[in-house]
Chains A and B, each alone.
Chain A
Amino acid sequence: MIHVIAFYLFAVMTVASGAITILSRNPVHSVLWLILAFFNAAGLMILVGAEFIAMLLVIVYVGAVAVLFLFVVMMLDIDFAELRAGFVRYFPFGALVAIVLLAEMVLGIGAYRAGSLTLGTPNGTAATPAGASNIEAIGALLYSRYLFLFEAAGIILLVAMIGAIVLTHRQRGGTRGQNVDKQNRRRPEEATFNVKPEVGKGVQL
């Protein structure tokens, strides 16, 4: 009973906030609705017993990725009239993407109904092997059977990170950077000195 209520609550909230994400006019609101969608998706993950994935979803997507989204969107000065002016021009492309997505979804649902996927069972019991907690099961798989795939994924991410840094890094001339070690090594006796000038004579620095 509570499973069903929780499932429909999370599912309806996920779909609804996903819909509002693309319908909302204010981009900041869009990102916040997207975050709500992530959060409810995490709730769905918990319902199928994948609590580790749910927590990672919240930590990585909600805690880091969406914050950066929000950061960028908040600082953009978006002209809505200009944004909507291109609607007709971009419509064919948008429709193409929509058709591709629809085809993928139909294929996916068809494959699922054919019974080739055995992730969780529909009554909500966990798909994890008996006797092992989520984290242990994932760790055992990732670091033994799928070790090379896992490391390859890591290397791809590293390359992407280096690529992003190379693309955005620029050498700026004429800046005066601080040398923190030099600042910390500086002692009062070499930085200050006492002078006792005679009245009306001034000081030689």
Chain B
Amino acid sequence: MTSFFQSLGMTHDWAWFVSTICGILLIALPLMLSVAMIIYADRKIWAAMALRRGPNVVGPFGLLQSFADGLKVFLQETIVPSAANKGLFLIAPVLTFSLALLAWAVIPFNGGAILADINIGLLYVLAISSLGVYGTIMAGWASNSKYPFFSAMRASAQMISYEVSIGFILICVVLWSGTFNMNGIVLAQKGHVFGIINGFVANPLLFPMWVMFLISSLAETQRAPFDLTEAESELVAGYQTEYSSMAFAAYWLGEYANVLLMCALNATLFWGGWLPPLDIPVLYLVPGFIWFLLKVLFFFFVFSWVKATVPRYRYDQLMRLGWKVFLPVSLLFVVIVSGYLMATGHFA
């Protein structure tokens, strides 16, 4: 894109600047639109599994429900509790929202369609997701109210616990693909199994890693069955209890943008990203972007499915799963995968 703007007579620096801004807008605006639609989809899927109708009043089939909700919160009054720490209280939702957008910079949508093709892409994703906890913890503390505070404690413990095993799982993927670059990881999956299946998931050594990654990503985004931070029977609305209006909407959008990001990571790291599922020339006629989108939407359906069907974990069960099951198993798999790769001369 830089060369296109250069052909319009700009210097290289300006062309780079303008094309980066355009790239950011090209990712962020459709992302926000898809977040609005994905909330609608989530509610529809959830309703269908509970034999209800879901949103069906605003617009055809209720398609405009999210926009109506958005307009509603936009017109609400922003209430800042008098005992709250005002600065932090208002920064927290902004932080959550912007962090949810930041990580998309390194997600490859198609062969060359990636905003920042850096060779530490996966580390960048880890860094951004480890920052995500601050939005929650700051909200909990700044609200100066006990339920948000409990919720923030739970959230931070939960996110730290599952980040550890996510790190080990990602190490396995990196070992096999030999790079931290997201596009490189996608390309390493081309014809990975029997030279025909694109995706690490079909690899028997990496399949268990994918299952654990899926469960960890549910925990990391605080979706059901790990939505203990918003357990409404215990904690009212969790760390969002004191929030109203656009501050609340920022959390709402950030949460779903994070869910989409985790779906995109599942697709990119284990299911071949923008590659078609099978390495057959005919399938490459469909643009890579379409394959990527289909995979992301499939994983979002899985997320909704889990939300609609699985009961909530108890907190000690959650911690046990993270520390006593996932951590040892993922560590074991790092040893097995690196041993296998060493024995078969993968690195030679």
**What string of 1s and 0s marks CB contacts (under 8 Å) between B3-45 and chain A?**
0000000000100000000000000000000000000000000
Complex Cα–Cα for A183 and B130 (A):
34
Pick from A29, A62, A71, A134: contact of B120, CB below 8 A: A134
Which residues of B in the span 106-135 have a Cβ within 8 Å of any Cβ on A? Answer: 118-120, 123-124, 126-127, 130-131, 133-134
Contact B141 A63 (CB under 8 A): no
Q: Please give, as numbers and ranges, the residues of chain A lying within 8 Å of B138 by CB-CB distance.
A: 32
Given contacts A51-B118, A135-B119, A28 and B130 within 8 Å (CB-CB): no
A59-B120 in contact given A67-B133, A67-B156, A135-B180 (Cβ < 8 Å): no
Report the bound CA distance from A62 to B129 in whole Å. Answer: 11
B253 at the interface (CB under 8 A from A): no
CA distance A180 to B124 in the complex (A): 37
A residues less than 8 Å from B119 (CB atoms):
133-135
Q: Is the CB of A70 within 8 A of B130?
A: no
Q: A74 touching B123 by the CB < 8 A rule? A: no
Question: A178 — which chain B residues lie within 8 A by C-beta?
Answer: 316
A95 and B263 alpha carbons, distance in the complex (Å): 53
Give the residues in chain A near B153, CB-CB below 8 Å.
Answer: 71
The answer to whether the Cβ of B160 comes within 8 Å of any Cβ in the partner chain is yes
Are A64 and B160 in contact (CB-based, < 8 A)? yes
Chain A CB within 8 A of B88 CB: yes
The answer to whether B218 has its CB under 8 Å from any CB of chain A is no
Chain B residues lying within 8 Å of A29, measured Cβ to Cβ, are 88
Whole-angstrom distance from the CB of A188 to the nearest CB of chain B? 17
CB distance A32 to B88 under 8 Å?
yes
Q: Tell me how far the C-beta of B45 lies from the nearest C-beta in chain A, rounded to whole angstroms.
A: 30
Within 8 A of B (CB), among A30-62: 32, 35, 51-52, 55-56, 58-59, 62
A35-B134, A63-B131 given as contacts; is B156 within 8 A of A55 (CB)?
A: no
Residue from the set A2, A28, A35 with the largest chain B CB neighbour count within 10 Å: A28
A55 pairs with B130, CB closer than 8 A = no
Is B137 an interface position by the 8 A CB rule?
yes
Find out whether the CB atom of B160 lies under 8 angstroms from the CB atom of A55: no
Q: Closest residue to B129 on the A side, CB-wise?
A: A63
| Contact present for A59 and B118 (CB under 8 Å) | no
**In this complex, what residue of A is CB-closest to B138?**
A32
Number of interface residues of B (CB under 8 A): 24
Cα–Cα, bound, A51→B123 (Å) = 10
Question: With A32-B88, A63-B131, A180-B320 given, is the CB distance from A135 to B137 under 8 Å?
Answer: no
B127 touches A71 (CB 8 A): no
- Pair B120/A55 contact, Cβ less than 8 Å: yes
Question: Do A59 and B127 have beta carbons less than 8 Å apart?
Answer: yes
Bound CA span A75–B123, Å:
31
For B120, list chain A residues within 8 Å (CB): 51-52, 55, 134-135
Interface size of A in residues (CB-CB distance below 8 Å)? 23
Are the C-beta atoms of B127 and A63 separated by less than 8 Å?
A: yes
B163 at the interface (CB under 8 A from A): yes
Given the complex of chains A and B, what is the CA–CA distance between A29 and B85 in angstroms?
Answer: 10
| B130 partner, pick from A51, A59, A133, beta carbons under 8 A | A59
- Assuming A67-B156, A133-B119, A135-B180, is B127 touching A55 (CB within 8 A)? yes
Contact residues in A for B134 (Cβ distance below 8 Å): 35, 67
B130–A62 touching, CB < 8 Å: yes
User: Is A62 in contact with B131, judged by CB distance below 8 angstroms?
Assistant: yes
Q: How far is the CB of A85 from chain B (nearest CB, A)?
A: 25
**Residues from 59 to 108 in A contacting B, C-beta threshold 8 Å:** 59, 62-64, 67, 70-71, 74
- Assess the A67–B160 pair: CB atoms within 8 A: yes
Are the CB atoms of A55 and B124 closer together than 8 Å?
yes
B131 touches A58 (CB 8 A): yes
B127 touches A74 (CB 8 A): no
Residues in B neighbouring A58, C-beta threshold 8 A: 127, 130-131
Instruction: List B residues at the A interface (Cβ < 8 Å).
Output: 13, 88, 118-120, 123-124, 126-127, 130-131, 133-134, 137-138, 141, 149, 153, 156, 160, 163, 180, 316, 320
Beyond A28-B141, A52-B120, A74-B137: 9 further Cβ-contacts under 8 Å? A2-B13, A32-B88, A55-B123, A55-B126, A59-B127, A59-B130, A64-B130, A71-B153, A134-B119
Q: List 30 A-B contacts (CB under 8 A).
A: A32-B88, A32-B138, A35-B134, A51-B120, A55-B120, A55-B123, A55-B126, A55-B127, A58-B127, A58-B130, A58-B131, A59-B123, A59-B126, A59-B130, A62-B130, A62-B131, A63-B127, A63-B130, A63-B163, A64-B130, A64-B160, A67-B160, A70-B137, A71-B153, A71-B156, A74-B137, A74-B149, A135-B119, A135-B120, A135-B180
